[in-house]
Amino acid sequence: MSELTDPWHFPRPDLAQAYLQGFDLGLTSARGLFARRRMGKSEFLKHDLLPAALRAGYLAAYVNLWDDTDHPGQALATAIAQATQPKGLGKFWEDLNTPIRKLKGGGKLPLGIEGSLELDLADKEKAAVPAIQAALQAADKARTRLLLVIDEAQVLAAPQHKAVAHSLRAGLDIRKPGIKVLFAGSSEAALREMFSRAAAPFYNWAPLEPFPLLGREFVEAMVKQLAAVARQPLKLDDALAAFAALKETPEFFRWYIERYLMYQQQGSEQALKYTQARVHDDSSYARVWKELSRADRAVLLLAARGVQDLYGAQALKQLQELLDSADVTASAPRTSIRRLTGARLQLMARVDHGAYRFEDPEFQTWVAARRTID
Ligand SMILES: Nc1ncnc2c1ncn2[C@@H]1O[C@H](COP(=O)(O)OP(=O)(O)O)[C@@H](O)[C@H]1O
Ligand SMILES: [Mg+2]
């Protein structure tokens, strides 16, 4: 298991036990936890809680709904099915898809809407709901308690995922003794919406609490690990000061440790300076990104990924996919490029006929790392 192979992972066995014991006592079958991004939720869920649950005899399923915000239903079904019948995943989807394919292949769909966008979306929705039901039934057959961890669960609160959320809720409602659910999220407000709005599918379903944050012990463990590999050990006081300066954010602290390790002769202060600049860049990139229109982001994302012919048919198809809309016209990339190269934004520059480069290569790296245009 990965917890054994990453020497930089700071294990949190007590916290994992506390969550499991809460479920074991039967006081609650679902819980919600929140903390800002980069504070260590996913790392804990995947590398501490899941292995601990497996060791305690649970089946364990983990899904991060940010990995594919458009298809939470399919992601959920896959995660549950994988946990309960790891060998039969291909067959699971095949069995499920047969009736849908039959429906489609029959050619008797009204108004000739085959291949249109509506059909695709309806199709996906249709597949997700029975898929979740089938996966939960598979979990019943396994006759073992299941821990289902839903990371960035607030995605389910979006109106377009209502059917999926309702079907999940209904399926979980009747299985409270056998399936324990942990919801996690980076937005407290969005999670609260999910559990406190009377009309929401998960109304009153799980108590919401803050995720316990990493502190001094985490810093101590990182300093200790560093001492095992660095020529020049890092002073604990310097590390603690850096952790505080980085707003006690584990991810930023790991950037600092990494930098220190690479340039030990420059010392802690320089490593911190560098990290703070990197954090600052990161947040200013996020601000720029947020101000762009969806179409501009999509074009920028293709450019960052190295698509050369931004005006070509291939790029147009990719844009339509990114924007989830067939309405993107052939002139859209031109309009976006004009804005992106314009005096106000100056994000890209023209190097040749139809070829562009980013003004700031760091920004290109930042954009290229994005999975969606959200
Ligand atoms: N327990 C931990 N041990 C070591 N590093 C951690 C730990 N928790 C978080 N980190 C660091 O912080 C980063 C962000 O953590 P992550 O779990 O992805 O945050 P979140 O899910 O809250 O956004 C990780 O990629 C890792 O570098
Ligand atoms: Mg996360």
- Residue ranges and CATH numbers for the domains of the chain are 2-210 (3.40.50.300), 216-287 (no CATH), 292-368 (1.10.10)
Q: What pLDDT is recorded for position 106?
A: 40
What is the number of the ligand 1 atom nearest to the C-alpha of 35? 22
For the cut 80, the answer to whether the pLDDT of residue 371 exceeds it is yes
Q: How far away, in angstroms, is 39 Cα from ligand 1 center?
A: 6
Average pLDDT over residues 257-270: 97
pLDDT in tens, 267-312: 999 999 999 999 988 888 998 999 999 999 999 999 999 998 899 9
CA of residue 351 to ligand 2 center, whole Å: 38
Average pLDDT over residues 63-86: 87
Ion ligand 2, residue ranges at CB < 5 A: 41-42
Output the pLDDT for position 340: 93
If you ran DSSP here, which 8-state letter would residue 326 be given? T
Q: Most confidently modeled of 84-93, 102-111, 234-243, 321-330?
A: 234-243
Predicted confidence band at 5 (pLDDT cuts at 50, 70, 90)? confident
pLDDT in tens, 167-216: 999 999 999 999 999 999 988 888 888 898 888 899 999 999 999 999 99
The distance in angstroms from the start CA to the end CA of the chain is 32
Among 174, 152, 179, residue whose Cα is nearest residue 28: 179
- Mutating to test ligand 1, I would choose from 10, 39, 43 the residue with most ligand atoms within 8 A of its C-beta, which is 43
Say yes or no: CB of residue 36 within 6 Å of ligand 1: no
Nearest CA to ligand 1 atom 2: 10
| Percent of the chain as helix, strand, coil, to the nearest 5 | 60, 10, 30
Percent of the chain residues topping a pLDDT of 90: 60
- Ligand 2 centroid to residue 210 C-alpha, Å: 14
Is 113's pLDDT higher than 80? no
Answer whether 35 contacts ligand 1 (Cβ < 6 A).
yes
Q: Relative to the alpha carbon of 15, which ligand is closest? A: 1
pLDDT at 88: 66
The beta strand positions in 132-202, using DSSP E, are 146-151, 179-185
pLDDT of residue 99: 55
Express each pLDDT in 127-174 by its tens digit.
888 889 999 998 999 889 999 999 999 989 888 888 999 999 999 999
Point out which residues pair with 183 in neighbouring strands.
32, 150
Round to whole Å and give the CA distance between 293 and 290.
8
Residue 105 pLDDT exceeds 70: no
Q: Which ligand is nearest to the CA of 35?
A: 1
| pLDDT at 374 (0 to 100) | 86
133 Cα to the center of ligand 1, angstroms: 32
Residues 28-52 have pLDDT tens digits of: 899 999 998 899 999 999 999 999 9
Helix, coil or strand: residue 32: strand
Q: Per-residue pLDDT tens for 75-96?
A: 999 999 999 876 666 777 777 6
Q: Tell me, what's the pLDDT at 215?
A: 97
Mutation to probe ligand 1, out of 251, 255, 261, 282 (largest number of atoms < 8 A from CB): 251
> What's the pLDDT score for residue 124?
57
Task: Give the span between the Cα atoms of 68 and 90, in whole angstroms.
Answer: 19
> Computed from CA positions of residues 39, 41, 46, 52, in that sequence, does the dihedral angle turn out positive or negative?
positive
Q: What is the pLDDT of residue 41?
A: 97
Q: Above 90 in pLDDT, residue 352?
A: no
b/e map 81-113, b = 16+ CB within 10 Å? bbbbbeeeeeebbeebeeeeeeeeeeeeeeeee
Average pLDDT, the chain: 87
Cα(42) to ligand 2 centroid in Å equals 4
Q: How confident is the model at residue 120 (pLDDT cuts 50, 70, 90)?
A: low
DSSP assignments along 188-223, one per residue: HHHHHHHHH-TTSTTTT-S-EEEPPPP-HHHHHHHH
Ligand 2: centre distance to CA 196 (Å): 23
**Element holding 64 (H helix, E strand):** strand 59-64
pLDDT of 4? 59
pLDDT of residue 351: 80
Closest listed residue to residue 57, CA positions, set 20, 14, 4, 13: 20
